[in-house]
Amino acid sequence: MSFAPGEAYQFDWRNETITLQGLPLMVKAAHMKLSHSRMPFVRVYFRETQELVFDAHDKAFAFYGGVCRRGIYDKMKTAVEAILVGKARKYNQRFCADVFAPSGRPGGLLAGIGVGEGPGR
């Protein structure tokens, strides 16, 4: 499978175990990867909520220096309400409204951010 620069990113959560002050601790790691360059971005949280999904997207887009034209989500509960036939998904309405807000609309993560994989990527 091949992707053009700025075409897509993949996002998902993973359970990870870290050591904090000598003790094991389960955390949620938000993983985003650019589909063209495969450049990863990871941010760790103590829980998985919709607000933290938005925060992870915001931080990743700032890191990359822009956004891609589309996101690829598999079975992430904070975004996908139902898996339909084949690759079709029913997405959570709040997730779509906040993450995929049209350019120029205040409040959306993608509002006013340029498309691309960032400079030099």
Supply 92's token pair.
């959570």
Residue 109 has pLDDT above 60, yes or no: no
Which of 42 and 78 is assigned the larger pLDDT? 42
Give which of 58, 43, 39, 38 is closest to 12, Cα–Cα: 43
Model pLDDT, residue 108: 46
Model pLDDT, residue 98: 67
Interacting residues of 111 by C-beta distance below 8 A, sequence separation 6+: 101, 102, 103, 104, 105
| pTM of model > 0.75 | no
Model pLDDT, residue 100: 59
Q: Where are the alpha helices (DSSP H) in the chain?
A: 50-64, 93-99
